[in-house]
Amino acid sequence: MKKTSARRATWRTLLALGGVAALTVPAAGAADAVPRTAGQGGRGGGCAVVYFDLGETLVHTAEDKSVRYMPGAARYLRALRARHIPVGLITNVPSSWGSTDAERAAELKKVIDKDWAGTSPFAWSDFGDRIFTPRTEAERKPASALWKRAKNASGHCRVVYQAETTDEVRVSRSLGYIAYQAARPEWPAYLPVPVIAAIAQLP
């Protein structure tokens, strides 16, 4: 029953995305149809990088200022990791936190880790050097600069962006991202992993 429901959600999401990956997922079942190394290119010769907003997309800040994963976020990141699909962050932080993305990312990690209340630490190592932050206040989202930089850094791979806000989804989609609004009632919390794996197989 759970497997059938998951497949139904996957197909509904494909239709909502305009069928972008539908031709690459056989009807026998999306979850069984894709290779486990989809993020790095496979039989279709493609690849995909999945970028996220951070606050209220992957992590939640409670009223007491403690920080923890959004429901399902840790499990979702593990599923992407298992398929070797690279992930990154496109997130607003003060530009004064450093002169490079690496410096600002280091400060961001300190801020999140200081108030982290989850049972397991945030999976910073999954994101590597794919954490894009504003170099100036003018680059803060919804300005397009961060999405453009992340897309350029992704080479020929297709780029996916997930956030909880409609404005960010709209802007990223206009820049060529496959965009998904996370944390909506009656929808999968995140773009289903089989859909991303199928997208990664597009040439």
pLDDT value, residue 73: 98
Here the tokens at position 12 are 């509904």
**With bands split at pLDDT 50, 70 and 90, how would you rate the model's confidence at 202?**
confident
Read off the pLDDT of each residue in 74-79 and give the average, rounded to a whole number: 98
Each residue of 15-71: pLDDT tens digit? Answer: 455 444 332 232 223 333 333 344 554 444 589 999 999 999 999 999 999 999 999
- In order, the DSSP letters of 38-107 are GGG--TTS--EEEEE--BTTTEEE-TTS-EEEPTTHHHHHHHHHHTT--EEEE----GGG-SSHHHHHHH
Assess whether the previous peptide bond of 142 is cis (omega < 30° from 0): yes
Query: pLDDT digits over 178-190, tens only?
Result: 999 999 999 999 9
What digits encode the pLDDT tens for the residues 27-37? 223 333 333 34
| This prediction's pTM | 0.82
- Cα-based torsion angle of the residue sequence 91, 93, 98, 100 in order, rounded to the nearest 10 degrees: 20
pLDDT tens-digit profile of 144-169? 999 999 999 999 999 999 999 999 99
The predicted pLDDT at position 45 comes to 58
Evaluate the CA torsion angle 63, 69, 73, 77 in order and state its sign: positive
At 43, phi and psi to the nearest 5?
Answer: -65, -25
Distance from the Cα of residue 162 to its chain's centroid: 5
Which of 6-10, 17-21, 30-34, 89-93 is predicted least confidently? Answer: 30-34
What percent of the chain is modeled with pLDDT above 90? 76
Q: State residue 203's pLDDT score.
A: 78
Higher-scoring residue by pLDDT: 8, 64: 64
Structure confidence at residue 61 (pLDDT): 96
Partners of 151 in the β-ladder: none
Give percent above pLDDT 70 in the chain: 78
Please classify residue 31 by burial: count the beta carbons closer than 10 Å to its beta carbon, then call 0-12 exposed, 13-18 middle and 19+ buried.
Answer: middle
